[in-house]
Amino acid sequence: MRWLARILVLVALLYAGAVAALWAAQEALIFPGWGGPTAEQVASVEGLREIVIPGEIPLRAWSRPADPGQPTIVVFHGNAGTQWSQLPPFAERGWGILLPAYRGFAGNAGHPHEAGLYADAEATMAQAAAMGLTPGEIVLYGESLGTGVATWIAARPEGWRALVLDAPYTSVADRAAESYPFVPVRALIRHEFDTAGRIGAVEAPILILHGTADGVIPISHGRALARLVPDARAVWIEGGTHLLPPGRVAEEMADFLDR
């Protein structure tokens, strides 16, 4: 039976090595990075220009002023960039845009981590206030990873115009546990982004958008969040993947805000 013991030891060592590798690589998995928009992408959004948001770490950001009487959409992007194709329709409707890139993204200094992204969100909201925007003029829009950041800001009862969650998750820990069921993820993860634990504190109107064919963050996460906040408006986009069709987000947001 000595051979069996050796095999079991080898399996245990291989498993421990795999777990250790995932623990060490979680930042690379959660925050793969984004180089920032191309000049063509920026030019595609009328009135958009690059600015720098001051703070603990200066952040590259892109801003467009709103037309009179229109809201400003503060965009918290996903872990590999933003759905840039959704932004031109925002500008076409006269909405303002404020899109920061997180630390470690788009050439910004620093390394991304959960608390760091929240600090970047704080700096972004300070920038919005410095631009003369009030919470009632601000729509917090998070996509993918950014839904957790947007919800963290929205949980403050400051009178935000709305919270829009595009392909949200209940928590990064939940999604990681689904992806790696053989690993004790909840004991190892350093960046939880607990959207489900915070969304109940949001007083602003909530719109949840999720594609039924999303293979990155399954629609079950969006449905679970909708059950936690029954007053939220949930739109399940049939056949939609993790990247929704261009203009669809603006279309749903416009209808939601008009109501």
**Hey, where are the domains in the chain?**
31-258
CA 161-157-149 angle, to 5 degrees, is 75
Q: Which one from 63, 77, 120, 144 is the annotated catalytic residue? A: 144
Select which of 120, 166, 174, 214 is catalytic: 214
Does CATH number 3.40.50.1820 belong to domain 31-258? Answer: yes
What are the start-end ranges of the H helices in 105-242? 114-130, 145-154, 172-179, 185-188, 195-198, 219-228
By 3-state DSSP, what share of the chain in percent is helix, strand and coil, each rounded to 5?
45, 20, 40
CB 109 within 8 A of CB 58: yes
Question: Active site residue: 77, 210, 221, 242, which one?
Answer: 242
Comparing C-alpha atoms, which of 70, 213, 54 is closest to residue 125?
54
**Active-site residue flag, 242:** yes
Provide the β-strand partners of residue 138. 72
- The whole-model pTM stands at 0.91
The Cβ-side half-sphere exposure at 13, using a 13 Å CA radius, reads 6
111-160 pLDDT per residue, tens? 999 999 999 999 999 999 999 999 999 999 999 999 999 999 999 999 99
Let me know if 144 is a catalytic residue.
yes
For the stretch 18-58, pLDDT in tens is: 455 554 556 777 889 899 999 999 999 999 999 999 999 99
Over its C-alpha atoms, the chain yields an Rg (Å, rounded) of 20
Among 98, 94, 90, which residue's Cα sits nearest to residue 52? Answer: 98
